Structure 1
Amino acid sequence: MKRPGPLLTLLAGLVLGLFMLTLNATSGTKTASSSYREESPSASPKTPAKTSPTPSVTPSPSPTPSPSKPSVANANYAGRTDDDAASVAVSVRDGKAVAYFCDGRYKEAWLRGRVNNDGSMKLTAPNGAVLDGKIEQGKKIRGTVKDEGRPYTFTADKAVKPSGLWRATAKVRGAKIDGGWIVLPNGRQTGIVTRDGKTASAPRIDPETGTVTVDGQQLTARPVTP
């Protein structure tokens, strides 16, 4: 029996080598593929969308209430006491009032104070006199002036210039002059001039111009407002 020749042995070795080469190539490919999949970075997680912060709402400051305006109209009033012993004039401006009480001889008082929204008022004078009154429908003031302990009730009707309250101050021949006048709607005048603290009846003024002559010198009286 003849032994296989060297050629057969070589062929067998060649086939075996090819088989092993093919097996290694296949295994290497799978390994590389598997390795690639394992080494490939995993999908990055989705970055959450940035949310813009909600702007804080600053509360609007509460509007400051505007101061209430006086409900009483500006006007002048002039009249007589019920016993016809004296005159009373009142000037109302922007919720304030000034009044003059005068008997035309020696009794007088300048009074000031506030007017309430209902038209009531309580005015006071440095000499202690007090006026309590109320505006009625914007047409007149009814009230009482208490001076030196005596009450005088009065009614003062709405007055239009030249009626109303007038005053003049000046120095005449070295004396301090202070004069007050009430001009009634019918033209009647009541006034007192004080010379260095001494009172006397006042001369008449020209209600159209306010001019008046005191002790030979011409002065100008002006309407009085608070």
Structure 2
Amino acid sequence: MKPSGPLFTLLAGLLLGIFMLSLNATTGTRATSSSHDVTATPTPAAPVPSTAPPTSPSPTETLPADSDYAGRTADDTASVAVSVRDGKAIGYFCDGRSRESWLKGDVKDDGSMALSGTDGARLDGVLRAGKIDGKVKVGDRTWQFTAAPAVKPSGLYRATAEVRGAKIVGGWIVLQNGRQVGILNRDGKPAAAPRIDPASGAVTVDGTRLTARPVVP
């Protein structure tokens, strides 16, 4: 028996409705999936502040305002002493026999110094790392030297006086090991100087007691 017309029409409409509902559900699912299927651009991470301390320039070496230096020449034939006070310097070269020279000049901020004496004598040096390296020219010869810090009683000493009508000028370098090198001039005639007592500066010249004092600029 064939279904009647109205029943067939109702059945066909029901099937069509079910098909449309299934189609909409599938389309909606795909649309929803498509709306979320987007490649996201990553947000760049914020830079992390550096915790490293800033780089500071190397500190400039501070030169000592008051200091004394003493040492030997490279050939170990003479001694050199330099006394520095507030950018001024006095130097003394002495071989302990007959050759000596007193020199003076300024010390620059970089530690360099150019001291001059009589008869063209010259001392050129650099105060750096707690010592003086340089050269000294006396007469027709030049000596290289290094002078290390001299703490009293080591250092540079000088005595002047008139003894028995003669003008006496004495210079002494007391080295760090206690060794003394000096020249005593009697009316301009040099000779090896007698030892001084570094603690008091006392020295006896021709029976007369003198006092050798530390030399400062």
Q: Match of 1:81?
A: 73
Equivalences for 1:149-188 in 2 at 5 Å? 149-188=140-179
Length, aligned pairs only: 156
1:58-89: per-residue Cα shift (whole Å, max 9, x none)? xxxxxxxxxxxx95432000000010110000
Q: Give ranges in structure 2 of 5+ residues lacking alignment.
A: 1-61
Give the letter aligned to residue 193 of structure 1.
L
1:223 to 200, 206, 214: 214
TM-score for both structures, normalised by structure 1: 0.68
Task: Point out the more displaced range, 72-81 or 195-204.
Answer: 72-81
Q: Distance in 1 between matches of 2:154 and 2:93?
A: 15
1:90-138: per-residue Cα shift (whole Å, max 9, x none)? 000010000000000000000000000011000000121100000112x
Q: Distance in 2 between matches of 1:71 and 1:203?
A: 34
Q: Percent identity?
A: 66
Q: Distance in 1 between matches of 2:70 and 2:93?
A: 10
Q: Distance in 1 between matches of 2:135 and 2:164?
A: 38
- Shift in Å, 1:149: 2.2
- Shift in Å, 1:199: 0.6
Q: Distance in 1 between matches of 2:211 and 2:190?
A: 19
Q: Distance in 1 between matches of 2:213 and 2:147?
A: 20
TM-score for both structures, normalised by structure 2: 0.70
Q: Distance in 1 between matches of 2:113 and 2:65?
A: 14
Equivalences for 1:115-194 in 2 at 5 Å? 115-137=107-129, 139-194=130-185
Q: Distance in 2 between matches of 1:216 and 1:94?
A: 38
Q: Match of 1:207?
A: 198
Q: Distance in 2 between matches of 1:221 and 1:203?
A: 11
Q: Distance in 1 between matches of 2:212 and 2:119?
A: 23
1:9-49: per-residue Cα shift (whole Å, max 9, x none)? xxxxxxxxxxxxxxxxxxxxxxxxxxxxxxxxxxxxxxxxx
Q: Give ranges in structure 1 of 5+ residues lacking alignment.
A: 1-69
Tell me if structure 2 keeps the 8 A contact 1:121–1:134. Answer: yes
Q: Match of 1:105?
A: 97
Q: Distance in 1 between matches of 2:63 and 2:84?
A: 12
Q: Distance in 2 between matches of 1:209 and 1:127?
A: 33
- In structure 2, relative to structure 1, the CA distance for the partners of 1:186 and 1:208 (3 Å cut) is same
Q: Which has the larger radius of gyration?
A: 1
1:141-188: per-residue Cα shift (whole Å, max 9, x none)? 000001112110001000101100000000000100000000000000
Q: Distance in 2 between matches of 1:171 and 1:150?
A: 32
Tell me if structure 2 keeps the 8 A contact 1:109–1:127. Answer: no
